[in-house]
């Protein structure tokens, strides 16, 4: 095998080219690792979403559906608490509160009394809540944070 002598400049140039290729390879490899991690998180999110959608589809009552919804909000969005309050304006005794996480001590009387406070807290803390019409005689309030 023939042996070729390289000059110092040629070796230095080859070394710099190789170093540049290695650096580009390492950067590309890190980008691929980051993409894989994001995809793994997305897949896990969709698995959890599919799990709760299955539970919700099997729900026999509105109560089960709302309870599964509060659980899903906490698990899928990965937050500390969620609250769904369904207020029946015509028959207040039919109002119900569904809680998961940090509001476990509340009951529907507390929520009725503190609905405005919860909504104001949401605005102050820049957390998410919505107060939206359900059927005309009902009101649905969803809080999570």
Q: Is the confidence at residue 42, as pLDDT, over 80? A: yes
Residue 20 sits at the vertex; the CA angle it makes with 14 and 26, to the nearest 5 degrees, is: 135
List the beta bridge partners of residue 96. 86
Please tell me which residue, 74 or 130, carries the higher pLDDT value. Answer: 74
61 vs 22, 55, 56, 87, CA distance in Å?
60, 12, 10, 17
CA 38 to chain CA centroid, Å, is 13
pLDDT band at 38 (very low <50, low <70, confident <90, very high): very high
What is the residue extent of each domain of the chain? 8-58, 77-144
Sorting pLDDT into bands at 50, 70 and 90, what band is 112?
Answer: low
Q: pLDDT (tens digit, 9 = 90+) per residue, 43-63?
A: 999 999 999 999 999 999 888
Burial (CB < 10 A; 0-12, 13-18, 19+), residue 143, is buried
88 and 136 Cβ atoms separated by less than 8 Å: no
Taking the model in full, what pTM does it have?
Answer: 0.63
Which residues partner with 129 through β-bridges? 143
- Give 64 or 122, the one with higher predicted confidence: 64
Does the structure show a pLDDT above 50 at 97? yes
């Amino acid at each position: 095998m023939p042996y070729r002598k390289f000059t110092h400049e040629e070796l230095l140039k080859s070394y710099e080219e190789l170093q540049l290729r290695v650096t580009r390879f390492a950067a590309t490899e890190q980008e691929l690792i980051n993409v894989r991690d994001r995809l793994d998180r997305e897949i896990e999110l969709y698995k959890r979403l599919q799990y709760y959608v299955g539970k919700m589809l099997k729900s026999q009552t509105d109560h089960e559906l709302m309870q599964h919804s509060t659980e899903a909000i906490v698990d899928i969005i990965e937050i500390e608490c969620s609250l769904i309050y369904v207020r029946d304006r015509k028959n207040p005794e039919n109002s119900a509160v569904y809680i998961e996480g940090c509001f476990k001590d509340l009951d529907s009387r507390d929520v009725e009394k503190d609905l405005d406070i919860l909504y104001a807290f949401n605005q102050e803390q820049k957390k998410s809540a919505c107060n939206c019409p359900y059927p005309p005689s009902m009101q649905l309030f969803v809080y999570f944070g």
